[in-house]
Amino acid sequence: MSLSWWYEKVATGEAPPPVHRAPRCTRWRLTDVVEFWKRFAEKANTEASDTVMVTAKKASAAAQAKRSAKAMQG
Protein backbone atom coordinates (compact mmCIF):
# COMPACT_ATOMS: atom_id res chain seq x y z
CA MET A 1 0.00 0.00 0.00
CA SER A 2 1.34 3.39 -0.91
CA LEU A 3 0.33 6.91 -0.01
CA SER A 4 -1.22 7.40 -3.43
CA TRP A 5 -3.28 4.22 -2.93
CA TRP A 6 -4.47 5.46 0.47
CA TYR A 7 -5.40 8.91 -0.86
CA GLU A 8 -7.25 7.28 -3.76
CA LYS A 9 -9.30 5.22 -1.29
CA VAL A 10 -10.04 8.37 0.73
CA ALA A 11 -11.06 10.26 -2.42
CA THR A 12 -13.45 7.48 -3.51
CA GLY A 13 -14.96 7.25 -0.03
CA GLU A 14 -13.72 3.73 0.66
CA ALA A 15 -11.34 4.89 3.41
CA PRO A 16 -12.38 7.22 6.22
CA PRO A 17 -12.07 10.96 5.67
CA PRO A 18 -9.28 12.79 7.46
CA VAL A 19 -9.72 15.19 10.34
CA HIS A 20 -8.00 18.52 9.75
CA ARG A 21 -6.71 19.84 13.06
CA ALA A 22 -4.73 22.74 11.63
CA PRO A 23 -3.29 23.79 8.27
CA ARG A 24 -0.92 21.08 7.01
CA CYS A 25 -1.93 18.83 9.93
CA THR A 26 -4.10 16.07 8.50
CA ARG A 27 -4.88 13.14 10.78
CA TRP A 28 -7.26 10.18 10.84
CA ARG A 29 -9.16 8.80 13.82
CA LEU A 30 -7.58 5.53 14.90
CA THR A 31 -10.95 3.80 15.32
CA ASP A 32 -11.96 4.76 11.76
CA VAL A 33 -8.70 3.46 10.31
CA VAL A 34 -8.85 0.20 12.29
CA GLU A 35 -12.43 -0.39 11.11
CA PHE A 36 -11.38 0.29 7.50
CA TRP A 37 -8.57 -2.29 7.69
CA LYS A 38 -10.88 -4.88 9.27
CA ARG A 39 -13.37 -4.46 6.42
CA PHE A 40 -10.53 -4.48 3.88
CA ALA A 41 -9.12 -7.73 5.30
CA GLU A 42 -12.53 -9.43 5.34
CA LYS A 43 -13.14 -8.39 1.74
CA ALA A 44 -9.67 -9.59 0.69
CA ASN A 45 -10.19 -12.96 2.40
CA THR A 46 -13.52 -13.42 0.63
CA GLU A 47 -12.09 -12.49 -2.75
CA ALA A 48 -9.05 -14.72 -2.24
CA SER A 49 -11.16 -17.71 -1.27
CA ASP A 50 -13.41 -17.13 -4.30
CA THR A 51 -10.34 -17.07 -6.56
CA VAL A 52 -9.01 -20.28 -5.03
CA MET A 53 -12.37 -22.00 -5.49
CA VAL A 54 -12.59 -21.00 -9.17
CA THR A 55 -9.03 -22.17 -9.82
CA ALA A 56 -9.61 -25.45 -7.99
CA LYS A 57 -12.81 -26.15 -9.93
CA LYS A 58 -11.04 -25.50 -13.24
CA ALA A 59 -8.16 -27.80 -12.27
CA SER A 60 -10.57 -30.51 -11.13
CA ALA A 61 -12.55 -30.32 -14.36
CA ALA A 62 -9.35 -30.47 -16.42
CA ALA A 63 -8.11 -33.51 -14.49
CA GLN A 64 -11.45 -35.25 -14.86
CA ALA A 65 -11.47 -34.56 -18.62
CA LYS A 66 -7.93 -35.92 -18.89
CA ARG A 67 -8.92 -39.10 -17.02
CA SER A 68 -11.97 -39.55 -19.23
CA ALA A 69 -9.89 -39.12 -22.39
CA LYS A 70 -7.33 -41.60 -21.09
CA ALA A 71 -10.05 -44.14 -20.24
CA MET A 72 -11.53 -43.83 -23.74
CA GLN A 73 -8.14 -44.58 -25.31
CA GLY A 74 -7.25 -47.51 -23.13
The C-alpha atoms of residue 37 and residue 15 are separated, in whole angstroms, by 9
pTM: 0.56
- pLDDT for 74 equals 67
- pLDDT for 9 equals 94
Q: Say how many domains are in the chain.
A: 1
Q: Domain of residue 11: give its range.
A: 3-73
User: Counting beta carbons within 10 angstroms of the beta carbon of residue 15, is it exposed (0 to 12), middle (13 to 18) or buried (19 or more)?
Assistant: buried
- pLDDT for 48 equals 66
pLDDT of 12-70, one tens digit each? 999 999 998 888 898 999 999 999 999 998 887 776 677 777 788 888 888 888 888 88
